[in-house]
Chain A
Amino acid sequence: MRDAEFFRRWMAAAAAAVEREADRLTELDSPIGDADHGSNLLRGFTAVLAALEAEPSAAAPGAVLQLAGRTLISTVGGASGPLYGTLLRRTGKALGESAEVSDAELREALSEGVGAVAQLGGAAPGDKTMLDALVPGVAALGTSYRAAGSAAENGALATVPMQARKGRASYLGERSIGYQDPGATSSALLLGALADVAESAGAR
């Protein structure tokens, strides 16, 4: 079972991964976007850590993720603010108010979160968006957390030959082909952070 502390550690690991990779995310965002994905997410996750610290009363997994999601919506801007915010908020909502959740419940909740992202952005796998990492990543959660991280990573790599159909990159048409999608890349970081935290917690 996973308690609030596990989810706090996940958010901290995600923030650390974003900080480590911020320049790379921004670099990926440069040819097909506007070169700020890394700095925007860094601003958001830094605020998430501060918000979680300021609110030790967020003592349930669902409350932790909902607070993180709300904070991202209030600080990131762009498309990634509402999309990542919705992912975490909806996942947190689906987890409900239990003090501990099972891995199966987390899997189920994340699927709901990813569904909400797809609905909000009107995108589907293959559109060269974060869904190309999230959908295979969450599907592989049934195997293991590590498998989910790897599937998301592979999903992000698979966006390279795709032509963007959503977001700002879509305006480039065929010229968006050949670049890895920054949103899919940061989504893989998020699931990679989850895998790291789950492994260090001693589960597969």
Chain B
Amino acid sequence: MRMLINSPQTVVADALRGMAAAHPELDVDVERRVVVRRDARSGGRVGVVSGGGSGHEPLHAGFVGYGMLSAACPGEVFTSPVPDQMVRAAAAVDSGQGVLFVVKNYTGDVLNFEMAAELAEEDGLRIERVLVDDDVAVTDSLFTAGRRGTGATLFVEKIAGAAAEEGAPLERVAALARRVDACSRSFGVALSACTTPAKGSPTFDLPDGELELGIGIHGEPGRERRPMMSAREIAEVAVGAVLEELAQIGPADGPVLALVNGMGATPLLELYGFHAEVARVLAERGVPVARALVGNYVTSLDMAGCSVTLCRADEELLRLWDAPVRTAALRWGL
């Protein structure tokens, strides 16, 4: 293992210290692990709070700022944060308008946010929760914990944050967030396992010349292993799987928001090349791409690979997507 760290025990705190140094516009509580937008309470806005395990950077702390998240709670690597962090974050951003918790559908995140919502409500806060579950690789959800929350988290956080910035009330921000989740689907591919600092060796064994289809974002293997494919072939599989499910929830030829997301160790050269294939497949199927985003946004440490997320976007969602945003990792329109 060669990692640019001091120790596995301090890796999350060290990253937060660096974030604080690089982004004075953020209020970073390193010890309690809460990252808050400094002006979170000044606008009388709904608070939008998210969080999850560390190792998915820039998700979520990188999306704290104008037009997106009010606060984020980073947990240990690949481990959901604890309720204390979420309650603290909610209290720090609540200006009386209530708080939306954006929760990825992983058992740990769901349970901890559930407990946090109860505690915050006991403190008199109004809390709504949206569960992000966009991953099409998880089938027969009756026999699993349900579809995982992956790339669509970025869409949900951006659009809910834009609505909150405009002054929309809590119920409406929550409804929009749920609509984005309902209209979004993802599919991920791993070309390598990742190495967590605590373990120090790859989380699973993936021989040269093979890949994992249908992965989540925690270094776990996917649904299926296959011989290595070209970017073109991977795009066919991934986009095909996403469109098949999207067809059940909207017009087959409606415009989409497209996210080609790197898992952490795949260079932009490859991601853009992959996006070219994604765009080609979508064009062949008659699906217009209204907006596209390519880069490392919802990562899995040093895993190589990528995911494709598509969101069926109507005019309103597109307007909120285009609204100005200024965060460490995502910024436009300002």
A residues in contact (CB < 8 Å) with B: 26, 30-36, 39-40, 43, 73-83, 120-121, 163-168, 170-173, 175
A166 to B138, CA, bound (A): 12
A168 to B149, CA, bound (A): 12
List the A side residues contacting B83 at CB < 8 Å.
73-74, 82
* Contact indicator per residue, chain B 141-173, by CB within 8 Å of chain A (1) or not (0): 001110010000000000000000000000000
List the B side residues contacting A26 at CB < 8 Å.
198-199
What are 12 sample pairs from A and B whose C-beta atoms fall under 8 A apart?
A26-B198, A30-B199, A30-B204, A36-B77, A43-B76, A74-B84, A77-B112, A79-B111, A80-B108, A165-B143, A166-B107, A171-B137
A35 to B77, CA, bound (A): 10
Which of B59-67, B89-97, B218-226 lies at the binding interface? B218-226
Expressed in whole angstroms, the minimum distance between the Cβ of A189 and any Cβ of chain B is 19
Task: Say yes or no: is B216 at the interface (Cβ < 8 Å to chain A).
Answer: yes
List the A side residues contacting B81 at CB < 8 Å.
77
Q: Nearest residue in B to A26 (C-beta to C-beta)? A: B199
Size of the B side of the interface (Cβ < 8 Å), in residues, is: 36
Q: B79, A121: Cβ atoms under 8 Å?
A: no
Within B200-244, which residues are at the interface with A (CB < 8 Å)? Answer: 203-204, 216, 218-221, 223
Q: A168, B115: Cβ atoms under 8 Å?
A: no
Expressed in whole angstroms, the minimum distance between the Cβ of B221 and any Cβ of chain A is 6
* Extra pairs beyond A40-B79, A81-B80, A82-B108 (8, CB < 8 Å): A31-B221, A34-B79, A34-B220, A35-B199, A76-B79, A78-B80, A79-B111, A175-B221
Within B92-139, which residues are at the interface with A (CB < 8 Å)? Answer: 106-108, 111-112, 114-115, 137-139
Within B179-204, which residues are at the interface with A (CB < 8 Å)? Answer: 196, 198-199, 203-204
Q: B80, A77: Cβ atoms under 8 Å?
A: yes
Q: A78, B108: Cβ atoms under 8 Å?
A: yes
Q: A121, B198: Cβ atoms under 8 Å?
A: no
Q: B75, A171: Cβ atoms under 8 Å?
A: no
List the B side residues contacting A43 at CB < 8 Å.
76
Task: Say yes or no: is B82 at the interface (Cβ < 8 Å to chain A).
Answer: yes
Expressed in whole angstroms, the minimum distance between the Cβ of A43 and any Cβ of chain B is 8
Q: Nearest residue in A to B223 (C-beta to C-beta)? A: A173
Task: Say yes or no: is B78 at the interface (Cβ < 8 Å to chain A).
Answer: yes
List the B side residues contacting A167 at CB < 8 Å.
107, 145
Expressed in whole angstroms, the minimum distance between the Cβ of B199 and any Cβ of chain A is 4
Per CB-CB distance, the 10 closest pairs between chain A and chain B, nearest first, are: A170-B144, A78-B108, A82-B111, A79-B108, A79-B107, A78-B79, A35-B199, A34-B78, A77-B79, A34-B218
Q: A121, B221: Cβ atoms under 8 Å?
A: no
Q: B145, A77: Cβ atoms under 8 Å?
A: no
A30 to B223, CA, bound (A): 16
Expressed in whole angstroms, the minimum distance between the Cβ of A115 and any Cβ of chain B is 16
* Contact indicator per residue, chain B 14-56, by CB within 8 Å of chain A (1) or not (0): 0000000000000000000000000000000000000001000
- Which of these, B78, B82, B137, B199, contacts A81 with CB under 8 Å? B82
A168 to B218, CA, bound (A): 9
List the B side residues contacting A32 at CB < 8 Å.
220
Q: Nearest residue in A to B82 (C-beta to C-beta)? A: A77
List the A side residues contacting B219 at CB < 8 Å.
34-35
Contacts A39-B198, A81-B82 known; A171 to B138 CB distance under 8 Å? yes
List the B side residues contacting A34 at CB < 8 Å.
78-79, 196, 203, 218-220
Contacts A34-B220, A170-B145 known; A73 to B78 CB distance under 8 Å? no
List the B side residues contacting A170 at CB < 8 Å.
143-145
- Which of these, A73, A120, A172, contacts B82 with CB under 8 Å? A73
List the A side residues contacting B145 at CB < 8 Å.
166-168, 170-171
A31 to B216, CA, bound (A): 14
- Which of these, B76, B107, B114, contacts A36 with CB under 8 Å? B76
Q: A165, B144: Cβ atoms under 8 Å?
A: yes
A39 to B193, CA, bound (A): 20
Q: B107, A33: Cβ atoms under 8 Å?
A: no
Contacts A73-B115, A173-B223 known; A36 to B80 CB distance under 8 Å? no
A81 to B84, CA, bound (A): 12
A170 to B81, CA, bound (A): 21
List the A side residues contacting B143 at CB < 8 Å.
163, 165, 170
List the A side residues contacting B106 at CB < 8 Å.
79, 168
Q: Nearest residue in A to B77 (C-beta to C-beta)? A: A36
Q: Nearest residue in A to B33 (C-beta to C-beta)? A: A77
Expressed in whole angstroms, the minimum distance between the Cβ of A117 and any Cβ of chain B is 11
A158 to B216, CA, bound (A): 27
Expressed in whole angstroms, the minimum distance between the Cβ of A174 and any Cβ of chain B is 9
A46 to B250, CA, bound (A): 51
A34 to B194, CA, bound (A): 10
Q: Nearest residue in B to A27 (C-beta to C-beta)? A: B199
List the A side residues contacting B204 at CB < 8 Å.
30-31
